[in-house]
Amino acid sequence: MTYELSGLQDAVAVVTGAGRMRSIGRPIAVALAQAGCDVMLTGTGRDPEAYPEDEKREGWRDIHSVSDEIEAYGRKAARFIGSVADPEDVQSLLDATIEEFGRVDIVINNAGAARGADRVPVVDLEVAEWMKVIDVNLNGTFLMSKFFGKRMIQQADGGSIINISSIAGKLLPPNTAAYGSSKAAIQGLTASMAAEVGKYGIRVNAICPGIIDTFRMDDLGRGDGWKELIASQIPLGRAGTGEDIAHQVVYLCSDQGEWITGQSYTVDGGTAPGR
């Protein structure tokens, strides 16, 4: 007898920040489709001229390419362009999801601000950079949780919200004050909301990835410095993949994860043991 995860067949999932080819959001969306979900994908409408070179070579089309992958598994996919940091866009996303699918069962808050000029000491951090990171990472997660959580309560059929945090929200390293603070706050939001909505059968958890080999790490290169980083920071000896995070997401959203809520799971190859 084969052991299989259950409870995801014909569920409706919303995955934010799902358009990058090398990412966490895309593997999550695809894995949920493989598990039986229909998926609403969100993106910000990136300028194709700004795509990484590998996306340009592949003729990548952001969330359109991801929706093609989902449909190849026999599931329905829909797309929405907007900002999770804008309450009106989030309301429009909810409306579009209900119009397309009639309900929502799973929300994956994955959209996040890219690595940038925020990676400096606090005293050198521009206010605008701080605001941008907090607005997308924390406020976006809050708005999605608020709007979609209310709809889940009204549906009276439970559901699952997964917030993508980071080990930076536990380790809080120097020169990452905006990013680390936003991710630590997401863990706080996760725990507090879980205590509020558990009575409705809604589960809220966070996943804290470690070093994941995505486009966000491109500024570090993949040479000797990258290899030294992996060797010194990850006991299991390799960077993570988006699929490593997707596996945890699918489990937490399944029937087999139905007694888990309010947790922030570290998935990092051993970088932050005990955290």
Distances (CA, A) of 8 to 136, 164, 193, 250, 255: 28, 20, 22, 8, 8
Say which DSSP state 240 is in.
B
Helix (H, G, I), strand (E, B) or coil at 154: helix
What are 77's strand-pairing partners?
A: 39
Out of 51, 179, 200, 265, which one is annotated catalytic?
A: 179
Say which DSSP state 198 is in.
G
Distances (CA, A) of 275 to 38, 81, 91, 185, 229: 33, 35, 35, 15, 20
Residue 43 backbone zone (phi > 0: left; psi -120 to 50: alpha; other: beta): beta
Beta-carbon contacts of 35 under 8 Å, excluding residues fewer than 6 positions away, are: 5, 8, 9, 250, 253, 254
Q: What angle do CA 224, 226, 228 make, to 5 degrees?
A: 70
Q: What angle do CA 253, 259, 262 make, to 5 degrees?
A: 80
* Residue 179 annotated among the catalytic residues of the structure: yes
- The number of residues in the chain equals 275
Residue 66 tokens read as: 């991801």
Catalytic residue annotation: 179
